[in-house]
Structure 1
Amino acid sequence: MGAFQVLTLTDAAADRVREITSGSNGAAGIRVGIKKGGCAGMEYTIDLAREPDPKDDSVEVDGATVFVDPGAALFLLGTQMDYEITKLRSGFVFNNPNQTSACGCGESVTLQAAIPNG
């Protein structure tokens, strides 16, 4: 484990992660990753994590655990994960400094890998 966290969670995101994992039998947390797709090139993926992968980075906030797919870590470095409820939608939102653009729907983004300092 490095001294830095790949991802940080807001209180709202941590609350939602706890809700999701407590409501599903035996979930260890949720796993965040990235896949190619969407109109801007990449999409965030969120899955229930039953078995932690030893290669995953993990972030824990007050009992809410988020695992980060190792292939996504450089793209998510410095990202804040939030949970938003608006009139039209509710869901996790990623405030990602590595995002260079997004499509209009906000579901698809263009990301560049972070360059870790030395």
Structure 2
Amino acid sequence: MGFAVMTMTDAAAERVREIVENADDAQGIRVGIKKGGCAGMEYTINLVTEPNAKDDLIEREGAKVWVEPAAVLYLLGTQMDFEVSTLRTGFTFNNPNQTSACGCGESVELKPADLAALAARGDAVVRAT
């Protein structure tokens, strides 16, 4: 039994498919994290033209999202969405590992997932080898 690092909503999957359709040679997107912003970390999103075999792959209705290995512990249990509002249009992350965010919403503070708590809930992490 496998465990998905992240899930994505229908809206996120639709937006990923649109991005791929409008980009040359793109197969999907890669999600990661980097240090930055006033809260300490930022989500990164990049086009994938050639997948990295070490990345975790999340698929939904033909939309492909790869997750960088260094981000996995920070993204376990996260739901990726896409929102369009009056003030903002973009991907959003409902991340149970987020402890705070800056006022402008551009950066977040993340803690690594509690693997013991995931195991206790029955969400055992099984990675393909």
1:15-61: per-residue Cα shift (whole Å, max 9, x none)?
00000011111111000000000000000000001110000001000
What is the CA RMSD across the aligned residues, in angstroms?
A: 1.0
TM-score w.r.t. structure 1 length? 0.96
Q: What TM-score comes out, normalization by structure 2 length?
A: 0.88
User: Which structure has greater helix proportion?
Assistant: 2
- Report the counterpart of residue 13 of structure 1 in structure 2: 12
Query: Any stretches of 5+ residues in structure 2 without a counterpart?
Result: 120-129
Match in the other structure for 1:101: 100
Matches within 5 A, 1:15-34: 15-34=14-33
Distance 2:26 2:11 in 1: 19
Amino acid at match of 2:26: A
Q: Distance in 2 between matches of 1:105 and 1:44?
A: 14
Number of the residue aligned with 1:4: 3
Of structures 1 and 2, the larger Rg is shown by 2
Aligned-partner Cα distance in 2 for 1:22–1:63: 11
Any idea what SS the aligned residue of 1:3 has?
A: coil
User: How big is the shift at 1:115?
Assistant: 2.6
Letter in 2 for 1:94: F
Give the letter aligned to residue 24 of structure 2.
N
Identity percentage of aligned residues: 65
Query: What are structure 1's unaligned runs of at least 5 residues?
Result: none
The CA distance in 2 between the partners of 1:104 and 1:25, in whole Å, is 35
Give the count of matched residue pairs.
117
- In the other structure, the counterpart of 1:59 is 58
